[in-house]
């Protein structure tokens, strides 16, 4: 599913859309919801300025994946695109009964909104995605309409996980927190009717139903037979729990005369080993058409989740009959029994029933078409109500029409939003900067591109620079400097010293050992003065042969020792990569022996780190401790062994 935007933004009232997920590629349900909302606003005659708070980029890196973000595609779609760097590490777990409503909305988000309000005072409305970003609305200038697109209900969301004996790794809060967040908006958008009713009971803000509109992609037609049933999804917990259960159920008693289950999307990366008789993984597909061409019928065997299942709306828009649970079709107001199955077993029974009965398959197809027709009428009526409210709100607030792209900005803003000059002469979008030394070749490119993560010419993506500061136009340009590394045949000279760069490291370097050991060591030396997310002191308490023991502090989240880590001991002219074998917690009083040198060490705990090196490590120096969660530096005085 892609955006269909109007290229001409002239003489249209502007809306700022603030989102913690990128608008491209549209590869997950929350991105599809964002796409649908932006398309509705565009159809209503509004120009959109999109601000991406790169929260989701951070989360992908923390799970060892390259962020699927396409800033260049976003620039082609919207009037303006802004990038808000995610500098604060967002906690995915809480020891409390629920997250506080503002724990996922750091200061940098509000700082951007305040800057935007001064730079673009003509903007008539600000819409934030998710209630956990509602704090940013407190920085919106008076007289500007404020909206929250809720996506989901988050009060008590953690309770859905209890039947699965699992912990949520996404936001949840309590009713008081959700109510406080909703109260910050003039208008609250609910994705389906049940959630609209819930929000109306929590807030005096105006609550509007806004189901996403799914344009018809292909008319309904009764399949000749059901050879393959399909599931398309992102790798989130509700999808994993639900399709995992359905896979087990579907395999029981499967024979070649039954339909094959085909699964596509990012979820395939989280389903290793499930392929076998009756089940096939298609992987990530760039085009939705390629998936629906291989699925005669789509299943939504959801056992948990809230909001609205975008995969169901998409399947219906492609003219595919659907079988699913009541949770899977929540918000579509289903009446057909095959749309209200109680569990995965019932979904299987319904699929087998229509697969062996042509008349039953025809009835299901007609029922799916009727369901989609009713839903589409509701969605378009809701969209018209929102557009009418926005237009009336603009008149009420007296907001003038916005300028066209770049027109009328003050000179400083226009200059700051132009592409940065980069590190070398000329435009870095046309020519990259290459630095070589010590068997290492580093290439820096300044671009809105974020993919691919490796190329034959440039090597492996190792880091993405973050721009310093906040509250200026130059900080928010959707351009990034990306560093690629590859082995160089010549070992002449020393590895380059890149200085105190502020970067987000790529999992391709931290987790994967695709670069040769000597190149990895040279790369660590090049990044030796990298800006650390946390820095502390340590002491070598034992060293024998290729083993080394270090006593220090670690962020509490790393103490279980299961986080993939890369560690490099840099001392004098030598650099050794160490392999972490064990993390042993120490008595808490040891915490006083070492200082938090940055003041940013989260929940520090004293530990003993056991390493093994390929050769005898040097004494003292500095230990770079790299994980998906960030960059750590441990200063080790010489002669402490």
Tell whether 407 is covered by a domain.
Answer: no
**Confidence tier at 618 by pLDDT (50, 70, 90):** low
Looking at per-residue confidence, does 93 or 209 come out higher? Answer: 209
The predicted pLDDT at position 16 comes to 98
Same domain? 204 vs 55 = yes
Tell whether 405 is covered by a domain.
Answer: no
Helix or strand run (H / E) with residue 199? helix 193-200
The whole-chain average pLDDT of the chain stands at 87
pLDDT exceeds cutoff 80 at 7: no
Same domain? 629 vs 543 = yes
Tell whether 467 is covered by a domain.
Answer: yes
Q: From 360, 375, 391, give the residue that closes a domain.
A: 360
pLDDT in tens, 26-57: 888 899 999 999 999 999 999 999 999 999 99
Please give the average per-residue pLDDT across 494-514, as a whole number: 84
Kindly report which listed range (139-148, 355-364, 469-478) carries the lowest average pLDDT score.
469-478
Instruction: Give this prediction's pTM.
Output: 0.84
The predicted pLDDT at position 236 comes to 87
Report the sign of the C-alpha dihedral through residues 592, 596, 602, 604, in that order. Answer: negative
Strand pairing of 604-613 and 574-585? antiparallel
* Widest pairwise Cα distance in the chain: 83
Same domain? 140 vs 99 = yes
pLDDT exceeds cutoff 50 at 241: yes
The number of angstroms, rounded, from the C-alpha of 426 to the middle of its chain's C-alpha atoms is 33
> Using CA atoms, how far apart are residues 585 and 583, in angstroms rounded to an integer?
7
CB atoms within 10 A of CB 404: 14
pLDDT in tens, 542-552: 888 888 999 99
The predicted pLDDT at position 251 comes to 95
Structure-token match 């890196």, residue found: 61
The 8-class DSSP code of residue 318 comes to T
Same domain? 475 vs 524 = yes
Same domain? 87 vs 201 = yes
CATH (domain of 630): 2.60.40
The predicted pLDDT at position 639 comes to 56
pLDDT in tens, 243-277: 999 999 999 999 999 999 999 998 998 898 899 99
pLDDT exceeds cutoff 80 at 560: no
Query: b/e map of 185-208 (b: 16 or more CB within 10 Å)?
Result: bbbbbbbbbebbebbeebbebebb
Same domain? 117 vs 133 = yes
SS3 62: helix
The predicted pLDDT at position 403 comes to 33
Q: Which residues pair with 149 in a beta bridge?
A: 129, 189
Q: From 360, 377, 402, give the residue that closes a domain.
A: 360
> Using CA atoms, how far apart are residues 197 and 210, in angstroms rounded to an integer?
13
Tell whether 37 is covered by a domain.
Answer: yes
Q: From 311, 333, 360, give the residue that closes a domain.
A: 360
Tell whether 238 is covered by a domain.
Answer: yes
**Which tokens go with 447?**
């671009």
Same domain? 510 vs 540 = no
Tell whether 570 is covered by a domain.
Answer: yes
**Which tokens go with 449?**
């591109």
Same domain? 32 vs 126 = yes
**Confidence tier at 617 by pLDDT (50, 70, 90):** low
Same domain? 437 vs 541 = no
Please give the average per-residue pLDDT across 411-422, as a whole number: 36
Beta strands in 349-499 (DSSP E): 433-437, 440-447, 454-455, 459-465, 480-487
639 lies in which domain range? 532-641
* Domains identified in the chain, total number: 4
**Confidence tier at 213 by pLDDT (50, 70, 90):** very high
Please give the average per-residue pLDDT across 515-543, as a whole number: 91
The phi, psi pair for 539, rounded to 5°, reads -145, 130
The predicted pLDDT at position 396 comes to 41
Which residue, among 152, 128, 150, 129, has the nearest Cα to 139 in the 3D structure?
A: 128
Same domain? 152 vs 290 = no
Tell whether 402 is covered by a domain.
Answer: no
Same domain? 472 vs 546 = no
CB atoms within 10 A of CB 419: 14
Which residue, among 541, 450, 602, 409, has the nearest Cα to 54 in the 3D structure?
A: 450
Same domain? 523 vs 582 = no
> Using CA atoms, how far apart are residues 477 and 468, in angstroms rounded to an integer?
12
pLDDT exceeds cutoff 60 at 91: yes
Tell whether 157 is covered by a domain.
Answer: yes
CATH (domain of 266): 3.40.50.2000
């Amino acid at each position: 599913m892609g955006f269909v935007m109007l290229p001409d933004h002239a003489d249209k009232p502007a809306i700022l859309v603030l989102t913690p997920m990128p608008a491209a590629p549209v590869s997950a349900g929350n991105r599809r919801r964002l796409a649908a909302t932006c398309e509705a606003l565009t159809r209503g005659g509004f120009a959109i300025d999109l601000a991406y708070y790169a929260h989701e980029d951070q989360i992908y890196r923390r799970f060892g994946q390259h962020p699927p973000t396409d800033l260049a595609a976003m620039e082609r779609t919207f009037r303006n695109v802004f990038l808000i760097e995610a500098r604060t590490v967002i906690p995915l777990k809480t020891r409390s009964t629920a997250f506080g409503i503002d724990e996922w909305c750091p200061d940098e988000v509000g700082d951007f909104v305040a800057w935007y309000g001064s730079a673009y005072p003509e903007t008539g409305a600000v819409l934030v995605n998710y209630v956990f970003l509602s704090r940013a609305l407190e920085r919106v200038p008076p007289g500007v309409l404020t909206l929250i697109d809720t996506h989901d209900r988050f009060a008590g969301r953690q309770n859905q996980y209890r039947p699965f004996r699992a912990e949520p790794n996404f936001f949840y809060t309590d009713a008081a927190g959700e109510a406080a967040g909703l109260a910050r908006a003039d208008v609250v958008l609910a994705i389906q009717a049940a959630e609209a009713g819930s929000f109306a009971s929590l807030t005096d803000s105006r609550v509007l139903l806004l189901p996403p509109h799914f344009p018809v992609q292909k008319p309904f037609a009764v399949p000749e037979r059901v050879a393959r049933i399909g599931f398309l999804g992102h790798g989130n917990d509700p999808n994993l729990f639900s399709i995992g259960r359905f896979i087990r159920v579907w395999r029981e008693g499967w024979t070649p005369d039954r339909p094959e289950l085909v699964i596509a999307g990012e979820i395939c990366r989280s389903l290793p080993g499930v392929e076998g008789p009756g089940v096939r993984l298609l992987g990530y597909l760039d085009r939705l058409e390629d998936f629906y061409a291989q699925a005669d019928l789509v299943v939504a065997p959801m056992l948990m989740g809230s909001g609205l299942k975008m995969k169901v709306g998409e399947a219906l828009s492609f003219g595919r009959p659907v079988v699913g649970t009541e949770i899977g079709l929540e918000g579509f107001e289903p009446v057909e029994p095959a749309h209200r199955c109680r569990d995965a077993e019932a979904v299987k029974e319904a699929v087998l029933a229509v697969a062996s009965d042509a008349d039953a398959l025809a009835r299901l197809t007609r029922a799916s078409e009727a369901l989609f027709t009713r839903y589409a009428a509701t969605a378009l009526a809701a969209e018209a109500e929102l557009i009418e409210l926005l237009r009336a709100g603009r008149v009420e607030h007296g907001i003038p029409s916005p300028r066209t792209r770049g027109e009328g900005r003050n000179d400083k803003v226009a200059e700051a939003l132009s592409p940065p000059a980069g590190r070398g002469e000329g435009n870095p979008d046309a020519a990259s900067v290459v630095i070589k030394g010590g068997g290492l070749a580093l290439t820096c490119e300044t671009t809105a591109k974020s993919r691919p993560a490796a190329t034959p010419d440039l090597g492996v993506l190792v880091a993405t620079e973050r721009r310093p500061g906040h509250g200026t136009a130059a900080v928010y340009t959707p351009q990034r400097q990306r560093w690629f590394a590859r082995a160089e045949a010549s070992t002449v000279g020393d590895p380059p010293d890149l200085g105190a760069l502020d970067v987000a490291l790529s999992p391709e370097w931290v987790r994967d050992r695709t670069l040769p050991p000597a190149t990895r060591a040279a790369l660590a030396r090049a990044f030796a003065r990298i800006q650390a997310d946390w820095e502390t002191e340590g002491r070598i308490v034992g060293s024998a042969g290729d083993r080394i023991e270090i006593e220090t502090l670690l962020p509490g989240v790393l103490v279980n020792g299961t986080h993939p880590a890369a560690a490099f001991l840099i001392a004098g002219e030598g650099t050794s990569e160490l392999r972490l074998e064990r993390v042993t917690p120490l008595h808490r009083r040891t915490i006083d022996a070492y200082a938090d040198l940055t003041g940013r060490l989260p929940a520090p705990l004293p530990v003993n780190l056991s390493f093994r090196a390929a050769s005898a490590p040097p004494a003292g120096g500095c230990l770079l401790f790299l994980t998906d969660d960030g960059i750590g530096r441990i200063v080790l005085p010489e002669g402490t062994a």
